[in-house]
Structure 1
Amino acid sequence: MNTKTQTRSDGIVKEIINLDNISILELDKEEIISLFKSHGVLLFRGFDVDTNLFKEFTNLLSIDFRNYAGGAFNRRVINGDQTLLSVNDFKSEIKLHGEMYYQQNIPLMLWFFCANPPLEDGETTVCDGRQFFNEISSSTKELFSKKKLKFTVQISHQDWQKKYQTDDLNTLEEIFQQNNTHLTVNDDQSILLEYISPAIIPSRCGKYRVFINSLLPTKQLNPKILNFEDDSEISDEVVAELNEISEKITTEISWQKSDILMIDNTRILHGRRSFADDQRDIYIRLCSPAFSF
């Protein structure tokens, strides 16, 4: 037996642990796909993986790798590859969220790679959006069924050129059309964007409801840009309820060197705990699965 597959006590993360020093490229792709469809989040641990091997492995299971144009944070490009990015923009906590749910065109799948673990803290957090939905009170479910979220963001001329990696307004308009985002261009070439999204979505199989969005980190880091679509405020009580649920059902992943995390971004929310040292270096790739799910 070359590997051990175990479900953590939390019941969410499925771990695939290397027992016999095999290459990660020797793993059975069909078994990985089956486990991923079932659990939505897989942790590969104990494999001797560097950055190049991480890319080779993820290329086997993924398509449509993308850069981070339009992303909310500053992300350092690794080795000149726009599809390989560091997530260490800052060190504070980031609340649970779906990746890039402030636009329509989201990556369906995420890969994380631990190039270097932190000395302490800095755990990545995950939870199942299906379970999150089940924990929400009836009144809050009803509220979200009636009102979608609205992100309203003002961006300077210089900042949108950097954020969307273009200096052409026509290209910017195309990006916004593809993302179903309303764009207003001001006289000084600054822009105002408005994007409306549901807080709760159907699962890909259609059997479940999933709470997955960018509400909690936005309310944590930049609260003024997020209200309901009718411009009414999302109350502190609702945000407090959601934060309480997230702490109740969150699973923490304490990184070890060369760990790989595979996440279904249509179902699994992720975030991270704060950290203080400069050792932590986690990379991300944004993509779609090279299989139906």
Structure 2
Amino acid sequence: MNIEIQPISERIGLKITSVDNANILKLDLESIINLFKSYGVLLFRGFATNTEIFKEFSNLLSTDFIDYAGGAFARRVINGDKTLLSVNDYQFEIKLHGEMYYQKTIPLMVWFFCAHPASEAGETTVCDGRQFFNEVSSSTKKLFSQKKLKFTISMSKEDWQRKYQTEDLSKLEEICRNNYTHLKVNADKSIIIEYICPAIIPSSCGKYQVFINSLLPTKQLNPKILNFDDDSEIPDDVIAELNEVAERITTNIVWQKGDILMIDNTRVLHGRRAFADEKRDIYIRLCAPAFSA
């Protein structure tokens, strides 16, 4: 198998390229696992892939796939498989974030597959949360060590039934308990949920601090639902600093058809650039690694 391995960028990840359109299922899994543990992001390019091969390859390295119930965005199910979703229902920019960091239960690993790239723009963005932490000012580090993030969301009965994919209130109560989310049910069955979490967490190995959360896209798209846990507002200058750091250390993944991207969701933030091409089609799978961290 003729393989080239090089950094995705000077900042992050590895790109594993097949020179001869090889079968990705023939890659040595132990080598892939070791590279993933070291780099946190792997981009596979030039292999013979399609949607089914993507599923088979991700199945070899992953477990506990989830269906995005409770997720923030509408996502189209692909080929009837609720663990295979399109991320193209919206075309605007989405700022760097950890996947589903507005609840306790998160996917530890995220996969992307490029079924069809945009003719221009629409890059997926990635950033190492350890580097992000190191780049943030000492005053902002101190602020986030003293205060946690609080998400407060109001939803109509119809909205929460659609978001959590259930009409059963007891099932919703169970979901919220499992996610350490405070639930208030109103007389008309509308709800208010509150979830509190840190913006900075220890790395899975315990050696580093990692800035990884859903702060930036929430402040971008729905700013009123996010404050500190004491209900004080996150200062504008702090948001500006985080956006400046994010833009400075972000790497753009310029998609090619058939690309597969493997991301450690405990360490690496991701997002995407805006795009206009309606033919862009990127799929996502959310899961845990089938190997020890």
Shorter-chain TM-score bucket reads over 0.9
2:73 maps to 1:69: no
**What is the rounded CA distance, in whole Å, between the counterparts of 1:162 and 1:273 in structure 2?**
27
- Give 2:20's aligned residue: 20
In the other structure, the counterpart of 1:186 is 186
Counterpart code for 2:120? E
Aligned equivalents of 1:199, 1:188: Cα separation in 2 = 33
Residue number in structure 2 paired with 1:208: 208
Is 2:168 the counterpart of 1:168? yes
Superposed CA offset, 1:110-147 (max 9, x none): 00000000010000000000000000101100000000
Work out the CA distance in 2 between the residues paired with 1:93 and 1:38: 29
CA contact (8 A) 2:113 2:261 kept: yes
Q: What is the alpha-carbon distance in structure 2 between the residues aligned to residue 127 and residue 281 of structure 1?
A: 22
Q: Provide Cα deviations, 1:88-109, integer angstroms capped at 9, x if missing partner.
A: 1211100000000000000000
1:277 Cα deviation after fit: 1.2
Give the TM-score of the pair, scaled to structure 2: 0.99
Matches of 2:146 and 2:62 in 1, distance apart? 35
Match of 1:5 in 2: 5
Question: Which residue of structure 2 lines up, in the alignment, with residue 155 of structure 1?
Answer: 155
Task: Render the CA deviation track for 1:153-207: whole Å, top value 9, x for unaligned.
Answer: 0000001001001001110000000000000000010000000000000000000
1:49 and 2:46 matched: no
Please tell me whether the aligned partners of residues 77 and 85 of structure 2 are also in contact (alpha carbons under 8 angstroms). yes
* Equivalent-residue separation in structure 2 for 1:99 and 1:6 (angstroms): 26
Distance of 1:138 and 1:23 partners within structure 2: 47
Instruction: Tell me which amino acid in the other structure corresponds to 1:282.
Output: I
Show the counterpart of 1:271: 271
> Secondary structure of the equivalent of 1:107?
coil
SS, match of residue 133 in structure 1: helix
Indicate the SS of the match to 2:102: coil
Q: Deviations over 1:247-274 (max 9, x none)?
A: 0100000000000000000000000000
Q: Structure 1 length as normaliser, TM-score?
A: 0.99
Structure 2 unaligned spans of 5+: none
Partner of 2:287: 287
Query: Displacement of 1:19 after TM fit?
Result: 1.2
Aligned residues: 293
1:221-240 counterparts in 2 under 5 A?
221-240=221-240
CA RMSD in angstroms, aligned pairs only: 0.7
Partner of 1:249: 249
Aligned equivalent of 2:32: 32
Superposition deviation, residue 2 in structure 1? 1.5
- 15-24 or 104-113, which deviates more: 15-24
Tell me by how many angstroms 1:48 deviates: 1.5
Q: Secondary structure at the match of 2:54?
A: helix
Cα distance in 2 for partners of 1:65, 1:279 equals: 26
In the TM superposition, structure 1's runs of 4+ consecutive aligned residues that sit over 6 Å from their partners are: none
Superposition deviation, residue 10 in structure 1: 2.0
State, as a whole percentage, how many aligned pairs show the same letter. 72
2:246 is the counterpart of 1:261: no
SS in 1 for 2:206: coil
Q: Gaps (5+ residues) in structure 1?
A: none
Give the letter for the 1:82 counterpart: K
Distance in 2, matches of 1:186 and 1:104, equals 23
C-alpha distance in structure 1 between counterparts of 2:89 and 2:140, whole Å: 32
Amino acid at match of 1:192: I
**Residues 204-258 of structure 1 deviation map (CA, whole Å, 9 limit, x = unaligned):** 0000000000000000000000000000000110000000000010000000000
